[in-house]
Amino acid sequence: MVRKDFVFGVDLDGVVADFIRGMKPIAAEWLGVPEPELTDEVSYGFKEWKLGGKHGYENLHRFALRERRLFEVLPVVEGAGVALRRLSRRGVRIRIITHRLYIPWFHRQAVVQTVEWLEKHGIPYWDLCFMAAKSSVDADVYVEDSPDNIAKLRSAGKSVIVMRNSTNRHLKGPGADSWAEIESWVLGRFRPAG
């Protein structure tokens, strides 16, 4: 029996929104260094950028969100928008699952900036979920870049495509380096009704 509601769980930061490329100029400004001094080969939390102290990343993230409207200005990962629009037209139900409520007391700004960004870039979705426990949100397949989230989803028995970047190259696949690969992988599992 073919399901009519094939659900594709899609993370935003590092998957649809190019978080590293978007955060880099803000971090350069924050640190007072030329942008080329900040490597693109980062680990989760950007320790390579020497943000300083226990709360360095949190402080940068708060500044980026409040003062530079980070979630509204992030660039789109190449090919993401068009691939998601094609998948949506084919009948794939796109469920955005993001943990953008990272900074306490700035949830309204994070949600508003996210919705504005999705609309500005024409990213289709049926559902928009803001939560850390992504395995609590059902989907037939997920695409994710965070090593911790990938591990949690897989330990819950979920099918996950790893969107490859410098934080997760050590993880086993299935993995993808581009949205063309992700789209192909999803279409290989999705069979439209009718």
CB-CB contact of 163 with 142 (8 Å):
no
CB-CB contact of 124 with 138 (8 Å):
no
Which candidate in 5, 11, 138, 145 is catalytic? 11
Tokens of 97: 């699952």
Residue 91 main-chain phi, psi, to 5 deg: 105, 5
Q: What is the pLDDT of residue 4?
A: 60
Q: What is the pLDDT of residue 76?
A: 98
pTM, entire model: 0.92
- Is residue 140 annotated as a catalytic residue, yes or no? no
Which candidate in 13, 18, 140, 145 is catalytic? 13
Q: What is the pLDDT of residue 193?
A: 57
What is d(CA 93, CA 74) in angstroms, rounded to the nearest whole number? 24
What is d(CA 155, CA 158) in angstroms, rounded to the nearest whole number? 7
What is d(CA 11, CA 3) in angstroms, rounded to the nearest whole number? 22
Answer left, alpha or beta for residue 72, where phi above 0 means left and psi between -120 and 50 means alpha: alpha
Q: What is the pLDDT of residue 190?
A: 80
- Name the burial class of residue 194, with classes exposed (0-12), middle (13-18) and buried (19+) by CB atoms within 10 angstroms of its CB: exposed
Q: What is the pLDDT of residue 5?
A: 83
| pLDDT tens, per residue, the chain with 194 residues | 344 689 999 999 999 999 999 999 999 999 999 999 999 999 888 999 999 877 899 999 999 999 999 999 999 999 999 999 999 999 999 999 999 887 778 889 999 999 999 999 999 999 999 998 999 999 999 999 999 999 999 999 999 999 999 989 999 999 999 999 999 999 988 866 55
Note the residue count of the chain: 194
For residue 121, which of 113, 129, 130 has the smallest C-alpha distance? Answer: 113
Q: What is the pLDDT of residue 172?
A: 93
Tokens of 166: 């410098």
